[in-house]
Amino acid sequence: MTKYISIFFAGIAAVFLASCGQGDVLLVKDVVVNLSPVEGNPSSGYATIKGGPTDVTLVSVTADDVMRMEMHETVEEDGMAKMKTLKNALIPAGGTVKFKPGGKHLMIWGVGGGSVAQGTLKMIFIFSNDDRIEVNAVIRKIGAADSPDSDAKKTDSAE
């Protein structure tokens, strides 16, 4: 259900932007937050960004209901994978830039309990051409689906 809502909002953003350009439309889709299973550890965020009619730069991603969010990039240095803060990301005209595991990604600290409960986090992607694209990222609780052992230990009664 929440996935459909998220796609719906991304669709609206695309329609608004389409009215002032033609052909390629700058849009943000498939935005997910992999919620850290460890309290205090950052969660990670991923997205697919499609370039519009001209080159733009993604300058910031913000969300009201988080403590902090940063753009990062995982790069290889001397055979070691390291994370670096990413100041901005070029989104070439008509191109596709993916924020994905092992590459560009979002690091998110302190996702609000309300967003976690509803399963979506409202985010705004801000670009150098002043486009602000609002999306509802789907929050995924990693480990919840593939660790039946820890699920079995979970008790519903207050003990």
Note the residues at the interface with Cu ion (CB under 5 A): 72, 83, 107
Rounded least distance, CB 155 to Cu ion, Å: 34
Based on CB atoms, which residue is closest to Cu ion, 73 or 134? 73
Rounded least distance, CB 72 to Cu ion, Å: 3
Based on CB atoms, which residue is closest to Cu ion, 25 or 139? 139
Residue closest to Cu ion (Cβ): 72
Based on CB atoms, which residue is closest to Cu ion, 33 or 72? 72
DSSP string, 11-70: HHHHHHHHTT--SS--EEEEEEEEE-SSTTSPEEEEEEEE--SS-EEEEEEE-TTSSEEE
Tokens read off for 88: 């901005």
User: Are 29 and 53 a contacting pair, CB within 8 Å?
Assistant: no
Rounded least distance, CB 83 to Cu ion, Å: 4
Report the alpha-carbon distance of residue 16 to residue 30 in Å, rounded.
Answer: 18
